[in-house]
Chains A and B, each alone.
Chain A
């Protein structure tokens, strides 16, 4: 497949780097300022090096990448809320040209799911978005395989940064501010960790799952989710939980058409209490009980592998 990759962050960069390994050719690559386009395949190392060195990927206009020759648009620009732009516009343009779209950007499917589905229905192209939920973990494709109709609930730990902070606070008896600073030093938390610790990131993933599970075509957006973060969880609360054989985790829950994210008490050794940055998703199936999927929920190569798995499904 020929890929146009929009977004030159950790995920977009990793897709460009790994595409060849999966037998694909990147014909266009763009960040918000610049682009490189070559119908025979761009020179990946050169473009990535230039991005590192000069902050641009090439001399072309980003718009050129969107209208270049490709089979699949990989949308890996940063997630935006509300109108989900410019990601949504990129999806619209690609589908309008009957191209496939693979999303790593959560915005379009978390905030404008019904419109994305409508655009897809009018196009020869297909939209896949495995990478938007749980990084490398095959969450959405497993839901699809089981058939959303036979899944009654989905719950899990969907943010590695929040999980790292809570599990470290619990293990070391340290307070929130201390562990957050440590997580930032380790590169586990971003300089601005707001979306990770206030529950927004986990909620976006929950909303995407709710959209996939919705039987009657009902649409969910971030506004429909009940969201609480972990910023005010104290060391003493974790200690009390621990004395009782429990711990606290930021859990996202999708049940009966409701999306809820918040810190919850879970037994210390339960599947839903992973340690460190590990993520886990538990599917409640009608005929096969509980199914747990765990793994790395973030990271450039990890998320890129989910993007490339989607590209493979389109072949």
Chain B
């Protein structure tokens, strides 16, 4: 892995905006003018915080250096930055599940995994050589918050045990040498 600070990464910034016209535009301006590339904006209009603010989640891409500048500029502009975790999803892990995946409702298995951990499923490959009625396998890539790999694995183990699926875990250390 490279330590280069020039590498562009994805970030999620959670802001709380005052419910006034022009606030959203004012919040986005420091991102664009500091070299951030806006990916998506999730404006939870109907969801007001206890302090009467509107939560907004912004996904953007930037180099780590520029991202720091963006957060500083937002705060200077008086925007309330609630969460600017370096990267929200910073660790990836891959698992393989085998068994009666389709019969035990694969999408339910996946949402189980997502609900019980902070992990999110970012990639899925399914192999069902004997057709979907028979045993099949799935390779699932999960993204988790930094340091949450063990917690995510524990949740996957539980779902696998519950549905009688064979789980092949990654060797999280030592496999890279």
Contacts and interface: CB of A to CB of B under 8 A. Distances in A.
A17 B169 CA distance: 44
A236 B177 contact: no
A39 interface: no
Contacts, number: 84
A265 B173 CA distance: 11
A267 B175 contact: yes
B137 to A, nearest CB: 4
A234 B171 contact: no
B127 A236 contact: yes
Interface stretch (B18-26, B59-67, B92-100, B105-113): B92-100
B125 A155 contact: no
A68 interface: no
B168 interface: yes
Given A233-B168, A234-B98, A234-B137, A240 B125 contact: yes
A88 B129 CA distance: 49
A270 B176 contact: yes
Interface centre among B135, B138, B175 (most CB of A within 10 A): B175
B127 A240 contact: yes
Interface string B22-33: 000000000000
Contacts of B127: 236-237, 239-240
Contact of A243 (B98, B139, B171): B139
A265 B171 contact: yes
B166 interface: yes
B147 interface: no
A49 B146 CA distance: 63
Contacts of A234: 98, 135, 137, 166
B174 interface: yes
A314 interface: no
B104 to A, nearest CB: 15
Interface string B108-151: 00000000000000000101110000011111000000000000
Interface string B49-73: 0000000000000000000000000
Interface in A259-280: 262-267, 270-273
B85 interface: no
A37 B115 CA distance: 69
A232 interface: yes
B174 A237 contact: no
Contacts of B96: 237, 240-241, 248, 265
A86 interface: no
A264 B177 contact: no
Contacts of B137: 234, 236-237, 239-240
Contacts of A248: 96, 168
B125 A284 contact: no
Given A265-B168, A265-B171, A237 B177 contact: no
A263 B168 CA distance: 6
A243 to B, nearest CB: 7
Contacts of B125: 240, 243-244
A4 B169 CA distance: 45
A265 B171 CA distance: 6
Contacts of A93: none
Given A232-B166, A236-B136, A290 B94 contact: no
A271 B166 contact: no
A138 interface: no
A237 B166 contact: yes
A292 interface: yes
Given A233-B98, A243-B139, A264-B168, A290 B175 contact: no
Contacts of B135: 234, 236
Contacts of A267: 175-176
Contacts of B95: 265
A243 B141 CA distance: 13
Given A270-B175, A272-B177, 7 more contacts: A232-B98, A235-B129, A240-B138, A244-B94, A251-B171, A265-B175, A284-B174
6 contacts: A236-B129, A237-B96, A239-B127, A270-B176, A271-B177, A284-B174
Interface of A: 153, 155, 232-237, 239-241, 243-244, 246, 248, 251, 253, 262-267, 270-273, 282, 284, 290, 292
